[in-house]
């Protein structure tokens, strides 16, 4: 386990291109493998999670050319052409495990979905139960966690499923299963979650049904044909630089080619509400997704805010950063309705509160969020808790602190952003 110390700095400046979007990379690899013909995925994210998805498709008989550090031509085997192996190692990739479950119910064969110790703690009943209601044979470990055994190619029937908590992963799993089912499969959410799956399926020729907060597909679908695509920059990775720039830009930080899908950019709304100075420069769409450049200038003054439950789905991966912003804002900052964070790579609510408390921040933990009392951040030592987002939170905290922050287990940042330290150095934090 490595410890990396991030010293306080006076300012950040310059321009970088953030890593490619992890969510879109996962889907491009999966849907490209299921397509009829060769699909070229340009600018994929080179990370451990992406590697797990690529290895899973190769294990299922998909021929792959190239590597994640360049373009990847995938020789699609068709919607029902995967050859499930005895076991698929999803490593730490929760998105992979949930999405591939919806794909495997339509393949001919049996497979076990498993992962590392962290992934084995994450709930799978939220997809296993509705898949079973469709007629699929799905068995989880006791307690509804991985490993998950799927016996594919059972007759499936479309269902209507109401999600109690908005989840792009659960929604995507059921829509993918719906491609193989007779009739319509609908998923209704309390709020709109990220819609990358719907956008990419439409690009692949699938009709997406919409009705308010409900989205659906009509099956069975004969096949899909995803066009070659370029993966835009990941907003969740850009978020760390957005916050660092808001606290430290001198005179500005420019982030190039970032995905600006409105189901992902809730942090922008919260930042601007708190007083951040951010300009959006729109560019032509990429992979069916809006994207552009972000220009960040140091905020003269940040004001505490309240993040309401209906806002959580659009910033679920950035809630930890709201806590950090709250530490530097006037007044209090409260987040509620984020109970989903309890079952991420870590209990992200507890890990965030523990990290900031150890750095001298006054933060109160709630069942579904937290309240931060502004006043700055001293510094100290935190544990990444096996969570890539907590690791990078600690890094940004260190840059803006008075005494610096040492992050134990920082290597976990490679799950989504292997070049994070390099990019921070390029912006002036050496």
Catalytic residue among 49, 89, 195, 317: 317
Q: Is 416 helix (H, G, I), strand (E, B) or coil?
A: coil
Q: Hey, what long-range contacts does 208-217 have (CB within 8 A, 24 or more apart)?
A: 209/184, 211/186, 213/188, 213/189, 214/186, 214/187, 214/188, 214/189, 215/171, 215/175, 215/186, 215/187, 216/158, 216/175, 216/178, 216/184, 216/185, 216/186, 216/187, 217/175, 217/178, 217/179, 217/184, 217/185
CB 379 within 8 A of CB 359: yes
List Cβ neighbours of 208 (8 Å cut-off, separation of 6 or more): 198, 201, 202, 215, 216, 217
Alpha-carbon distance of 287 to 31, in angstroms, equals 13
Identify the CA nearest to 416 among candidates 52, 75, 124. Answer: 52
347 is known as an active-site residue: no
Alpha-carbon distance of 120 to 118, in angstroms, equals 5
Which residues are designated catalytic? Answer: 317
């Amino acid at each position: 386990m490595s410890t990396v110390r991030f010293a306080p700095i006076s300012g950040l400046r310059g321009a970088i291109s953030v890593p490619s979007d992890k969510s879109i990379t996962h889907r491009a690899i999966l849907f490209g493998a299921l397509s009829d013909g060769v699909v070229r995925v340009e600018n994929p994210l080179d990370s451990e999670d992406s590697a797990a998805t690529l290895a899973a498709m190769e294990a299922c008989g998909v021929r792959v050319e190239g590597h994640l550090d360049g373009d990847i031509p995938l020789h699609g085997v068709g919607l029902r052409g995967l050859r499930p192996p005895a076991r698929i190692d999803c490593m730490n990739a929760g998105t992979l495990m949930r999405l591939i479950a919806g794909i495997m119910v339509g393949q001919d064969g049996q497979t076990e979905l498993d992962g590392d110790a962290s992934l084995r703690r994450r709930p799978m009943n939220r997809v296993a139960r509705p898949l079973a209601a469709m007629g699929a044979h799905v068995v989880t470990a006791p307690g509804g966690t991985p490993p998950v055994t799927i016996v594919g190619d059972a007759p499936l029937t479309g269902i209507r499923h109401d999600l109690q908590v908005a989840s792009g992963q659960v929604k995507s799993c059921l829509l993918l299963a719906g491609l193989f089912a007779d009739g319509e499969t609908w998923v209704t959410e309390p709020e709109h979650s990220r819609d990358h799956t719907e956008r990419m399926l439409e690009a692949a020729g699938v009709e997406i049904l919409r009705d308010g907060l409900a989205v659906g597909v009509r099956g069975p679908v004969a096949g899909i044909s995803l066009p070659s695509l370029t993966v835009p920059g990941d907003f969740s990775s850009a978020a760390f630089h957005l916050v660092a720039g808001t606290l430290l830009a001198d005179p500005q930080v420019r982030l190039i080619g970032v995905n600006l899908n409105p189901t992902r950019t809730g942090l922008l709304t919260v930042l601007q509400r708190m007083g951040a100075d951010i300009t959006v420069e729109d560019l032509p769409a990429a992979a069916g997704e809006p994207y552009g450049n972000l220009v960040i200038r140091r905020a003269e003054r940040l004001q505490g805010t309240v993040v309401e439950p209906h806002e959580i789905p659009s910033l679920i991966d950035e809630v930890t950063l709201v806590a950090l912003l709250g530490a530097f804002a006037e007044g209090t900052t409260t987040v509620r309705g984020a109970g989903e964070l309890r079952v991420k790579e870590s209990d992200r609510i507890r890990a965030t509160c523990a990290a900031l408390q150890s750095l001298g921040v006054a933060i109160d933990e709630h069942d579904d969020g937290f309240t931060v009392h502004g006043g700055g951040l001293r510094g100290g030592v935190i544990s990444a808790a096996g969570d890539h987002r907590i690791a990078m939170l600690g890094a940004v905290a260190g840059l803006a602190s008075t005494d610096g922050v040492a992050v134990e287990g920082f290597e976990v940042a490679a799950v989504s952003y292997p070049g994070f330290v390099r990019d921070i150095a390029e912006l002036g934090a050496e």
